[in-house]
Chain A
Amino acid sequence: TPRHATPSIPSRIQPARKPGNVLEEARARLHVSSVPESLPCREQEFQDIYNFVESKIMDGTGGCMYISGVPGTGKTATVHEVIRSLQHAAEQEEIPPFHFIEINGMKMTDPHQAYVQILQKLTDQKATPDHAAALLEKRFSTPAPKKETTVLLVDELDLLWTRKQNVMYNIFDWPTRRHARLVVLTIANTMDLPERIMINRVASRLGLTRMSFQPYTFKQLQQIITSRLNRVKAFEEDALQLVSRKVAALSGDARRCLDICRRATEICEHAGQKGAIGLVGMSHVMEALDEMFSSSYVTAIRCASLQEQLFLRAVIAEFRRLGLEEATFQQVFVQHQALCRVEGLQPVSVSESLAVCQRLGACRLLLLEPSRLDLLLRVRLNLSQDDVLYALKAD
């Protein structure tokens, strides 16, 4: 095998199909991985990050910035957009050229691999973590004329946590060196991450340049979808509003919103006759919302066998009797047999009842202890009693 092979994946035999109708085109545009032309509703955040990085590049200094926000609020997309426009500006020679590298905590097997990746992206060198740390230390602390500014993006910062926190410490310490010219942008989900998990010397080096991304409101979500669709007429206005209102009420996650819209187009395509494909209406969106948001526990209980339903009823009866949310299998079994007699069924044996119990445990309707305890294993419900009663009573 060659020593410095560039990895590649086999290419397609045929090129990817162009979207055939309106719905397919809408689906391609609504895909989470398709890069939009512009990022609506994040203009303020974009400007803040842009100004921060630009000023550091212009001055030739370094600094850190911490960006937080719940998933799907456009953190990584905005930073990438900033870097793209900065690179564009550098090409136009409006600002000095800079070097951009990116690492992701989730893509590393071990936090110390961060050194290796940073070094490899900076200089194409391969080294062990310790050696890479030493090399990076040397690089950032010695003065070198004509050194370019480096912009380092650290995604999923919380996964770089180690017991001594030396990886985080180093990453935040390098920008403070005089000759480093390093700008570090860090992204994580929780706002109070520096205060919660970092020791003082790390948190103080991270500094107070913080930015938090708020979840999208329903108007913003609607605007995002409309801008993505970009005059492809595939959705009714009301349907879009319903999706964005529902998602905004729950999480404000733009990815979730896009997923639901794509599912709704699929449902619409499936429902419409060939040739005549209409717009995605309220009913399709409702169906998609049901699919994505409804809990499967209730369906599972409704489709369970008679004995399984009886067992769940026995569990609830036993909880009522004890006044606790936990019972041993032995206690539930007595109730189960009594219920069988009431229902006019053949009383179950212990092993049958235990099999029922463990089947319910395997699909996580119940929480169970290891099966080798048999009669003494403790049984708990994994969902509320009201949900179970609702599911059992529905038919």
Chain B
Amino acid sequence: MRRIKNPPVSRYHPTNTPSPPPPSVTPAQNTHSFGSSNSARERKWRHNSEVTLLPAARQSARISLVCVDVFCGSGFRRMLKMPGAALQCSGYPEDKLQTLTERLTCREVQTGTLLSLMGEPEQYSYPSVFVYGHRATGKSHVLLTLLTHLQLPHAAVSCVECVSAGLMFEQVLSALFGPDAASLLPRCPSLSDFVRIYRQACVQHPAQQTRYIVVEKAELLRDMEANLLPALLRLQELVDDNVTVFLLSEIVWEKFRPNTGCFEPLLLHFPDYTKAELLHILSRDSHPSHTPEFYSSYINILLGVFYSVCRDLRELRHLAALNFSKFCEPLEKGEARESDTHKLWRNMEPHLKKAMQSVYLREVSSVQWEQQQVDEKEATSLRGLSAHTHVELPYYSKFLLIAAYLASYNPARTDRRFFLKHHGKMKKTNFLKKHEKTSNHLLGPKPFPLDRLLAIFYSVVDSRVAPTASVFSQISSLVTLQLLTQVGHDDQLDSPKYKCAVSLDFILAISRTVSFDIVRYLYDFL
């Protein structure tokens, strides 16, 4: 397994000479020594059998790559260390690299590593790279910006869109070779069809540059056919073309590895943005009518409130855009100036705290939130989504639901004492098992049979109810409304089991409408 560690930014060696291969790398092992040959252009990766060579770009790129064999004996972990710097890589125009550096702020290290892995456009790159990191750490942004800006041939597919492998093959072929190649695919293409047509297209359009395939949300690949992921990892070998597959995912590689083994990709981690980096990135989209310092002080306040609960860049950017007008309010009213930071903060902080409880949890939609700010209504005067728990039910359905709740949260042994008139004396503790004594509301609802539900139902309802078809159909419609759930679908007619799936607040509201004191009947609240 090879893993690329992000190099420390402080170490910078402007050397043009390649670093000699470290002594720990032996050709007999499954090792790859980097940066030791000038004629790497002609060579291909030969996996597992001989020493392979990364393109010569390493040497001229002022990047010294050092392989450190950390793992004694088995050559497992290989680290790629290089001093971070502004992007420099031969084979690409300088000005484009310059604009790339400006665009991809706070991701210089990762971009540099990616660039050095890709090498010069016509050189062979590593067959597959696995890029992982949390959501909104710029994985696809960095990669796609890099590929589009440097105008490299690439195909970007998302596994969410490609519900079948055939769709993915079609997208890849049409992006790399044009729609003609994709139209050659049969109706339900298998992997071998894809490889065959790729090779055909390859002959017609031989590779001038490395082709890249970017697969986003790669964790869904595991649920597709079992041979798809191993084949993508060694696609370079299968199609015999200069192609590199990037797999992008939020989960680690260990959860991907098939049980039959596969070609191990290079692992590249995108770490989370630090608070300073978030501040830097968010401050970039400042409002034109205000100074950048003003906007960055706003972001500082926003991060002060939200950083402890949310580090997602996209979420934070959305919140920043939503609440900025409120921040500017004192300026427009003339109550404060841009430099009165403390005043602005005092105005803003309670507002942001309210935003955390409402708009961040999507209780109130963004449009409603903006409307509220414009109308200058009291924030969260609206009822949120979760307040709408009131459901209109028929009379007996309410009692059925109450009975189901009692059956789910009370131990069956206590039924005698709650629902029988002459049950004799019983104390609370001495007749229950240990697990029944702990709160049932913490452990969640327990399944109960239909007989018990009906028995409790008849004892709870005061009037005489005939067990008509309508009572039973009400039970099954409570199941379709997802207020009850059926447990174990093995037997539909004979002794089905149910669970109650409503919360305590909900059932309290329901029992209030039929003036039934449910708390008196709950074992947990005795």
Q: Tell me the smallest distance from the CB of B81 to a CB of chain A, in Å.
A: 18
For residues 233 through 266 of chain B, which have their beta carbon under 8 Å from a beta carbon of chain A?
A: 252-261
Contacts A307-B74, A308-B74 given; does A359 touch B255 at CB 8 Å: no
A363 B259 Cβ-Cβ under 8 A: no
Q: CB within 8 A of A352: which of B77, B252, B259?
A: B77
Q: In the complex, A359 Cα to B75 Cα: how many Å?
A: 13
The CA of A346 and the CA of B70, in the complex, are separated in Å by 9
In the complex, the answer to whether B255 meets A374 with C-beta atoms within 8 Å is yes
Tell me the complex Cα distance, A306–B71, Å.
10
Report A347-369 residues with CB < 8 Å from chain B CB: 350-352, 354-356, 358-359, 361-363, 368
Query: Separation in Å of the B268 CB from the closest CB of chain A?
Result: 14
B47 at the A interface (CB under 8 A): no
Contacts of A368 in B (CB 8 A): 259
A352 touches B72 (CB 8 A): no
The total of interchain contacts (Cβ-Cβ below 8 angstroms) comes to 55
B73 at the interface (CB under 8 A from A): yes
Residues in B whose Cβ lies below 8 Å from that of A305: 73-76
Q: Please state if B73 and A370 are interface contacts (CB–CB under 8 Å).
A: no
Cα distance, A127 to B379, chains bound together (Å): 79
Shortest B122–chain A CB gap in Å is 33
Q: What's the Cα separation between A148 and B79 when bound, in Å? A: 79
Q: Give the shortest distance, in Å, between B218 (CB) and chain A (any CB).
A: 13
Asked if A283 lies at the interface with its beta carbon under 8 angstroms from chain B, I say no
Q: Is the interface of B mostly helix, strand, loop or mixed?
A: loop
- Chain A positions 187-202 with a Cβ under 8 Å from a chain B Cβ: none
Cβ of B276 within 8 Å of any chain A Cβ, yes or no, is no
Contact code string B255-290 (vs A, CB < 8 Å = 1, else 0): 111111100000000000000000000000000000
CA distance A308 to B1 in the complex (A): 14
Task: Report whether B259 and A371 are in contact in the complex, using a CB–CB cutoff of 8 Å.
Answer: yes
Known A351-B254, A371-B254; contact A359-B261, beta-carbon cutoff 8 A: yes
Q: Is the CB of B76 within 8 A of A354?
A: no
Instruction: Take A307-B71, A307-B73, A355-B76 as given contacts and tell me if A363 and B255 are in contact as well, using a CB distance cutoff of 8 Å.
Output: no
- Which residues from chain A contact B252 at a C-beta distance below 8 Å? 351
A372 proximal to B (CB < 8 A): yes
CB of B31 to closest CB in A, whole Å: 13
| B222 CB-CB contact with A under 8 Å | yes
* Bound-state Cα–Cα, A362 to B76, Å: 16
Inter-chain contact A306/B73, CB cutoff 8 Å:
yes
**Bound form: Cα–Cα A308–B74 in Å:** 8
A249 on the interface (CB 8 Å rule)? Answer: no
Q: Does A232 contact B (CB under 8 A)?
A: no
Docked CA distance A372–B255 (Å): 4
Contacting B at CB under 8 A, from A264-308, are: 305-308
Interface of A is mostly: helix
Using known A-B contacts A372-B222, A374-B254, determine if residue A355 contacts B1 with beta carbons closer than 8 Å: yes
Residue count of chain A within 8 Å CB distance of chain B: 22
Q: Is A345 an interface residue (CB 8 A)?
A: yes
Interface size of B in residues (CB-CB distance below 8 Å)? 20
Binary CB contact string for chain A from 301 to 336 against chain B (1 if under 8 A, 0 otherwise): 000011110000000000000000000000000000
B74: which of A306, A362, A370 is its contact (CB, 8 Å)?
A306
Q: How far is the CA of A127 from the CA of B259 in the complex (A)?
A: 44
Bound complex: CA A346 to CA B255 (Å)? 24
Query: What distance in Å separates the Cβ of A223 from its nearest Cβ neighbour in chain B?
Result: 44
Q: Which residue of the partner chain B has the closest CB to A362?
A: B261
Bound Cα distance from A355 to B2, whole angstroms: 11
- A24-64 contacts to B (CB < 8 Å): none
Distance of A363 Cα from B261 Cα, bound (Å): 8
Query: Quick one: closest B residue to A373, CB to CB?
Result: B255
CB closest chain-B residue, reference A351: B254
Least CB distance, A260 to chain B, in whole angstroms: 31
CB distance from B407 to the nearest CB of A (A): 33
Q: A371 with B72: in contact, given A352-B1, A359-B261 (CB under 8 Å)? A: no
A308 to B72, CA, bound (A): 12
In the complex the two chains form, what is the Cα distance from A212 to B216 in whole Å? 61
B71-92 to A contact mask, C-beta < 8 Å, 1/0: 1111111000000000000000
- For residue B76, which residues in chain A have a CB less than 8 angstroms away from its CB? 305, 307, 352, 355-356
Contact of A345 (CB < 8 Å), options: B1, B72, B259: B72
- Contact partners of B260 in chain A: CB under 8 A: 362
Which of A346, A356, A371 has the largest count of B CB atoms less than 10 A from its CB?
A371
Q: How many angstroms from the CA of A302 to the CA of B370 in the assembled complex?
A: 69
Q: How far is the CA of A302 from the CA of B382 in the complex (A)?
A: 71
Which residues of B are found within 8 Å of A370, using beta-carbon distances?
Answer: 259
Give chain A nearest CB distance to B304 CB in angstroms: 35
Closest partner residue, chain A, to B256 (CB atom): A371
A308 to B260 alpha-carbon distance, docked (Å) = 17
Within 8 A of A (CB), among B326-370: none
Output the least CB separation between A355 and chain B (Å).
Answer: 5
What is the minimal beta-carbon distance from A377 to any residue of chain B, in angstroms? 10
A354 to chain B: which residues have CB within 8 Å?
254
| Shortest 9 CB-CB contacts between residues of A and residues of B | A362-B261, A305-B74, A306-B73, A372-B255, A354-B254, A371-B257, A355-B1, A307-B74, A358-B257
User: Can you list 5 A-B pairs, Cβ within 8 angstroms, ordered by A?
Assistant: A351-B253, A356-B74, A358-B254, A358-B257, A370-B259
What is B's interface to A at a CB cutoff of 8 Å? Answer: 1, 70-77, 222, 252-261
Beyond A345-B72, A371-B255, A374-B254, 17 additional pairs, beta carbon < 8 A:
A305-B74, A306-B73, A307-B71, A307-B73, A307-B76, A351-B252, A351-B254, A355-B1, A355-B254, A356-B76, A361-B259, A362-B259, A362-B261, A370-B259, A371-B254, A371-B256, A372-B255
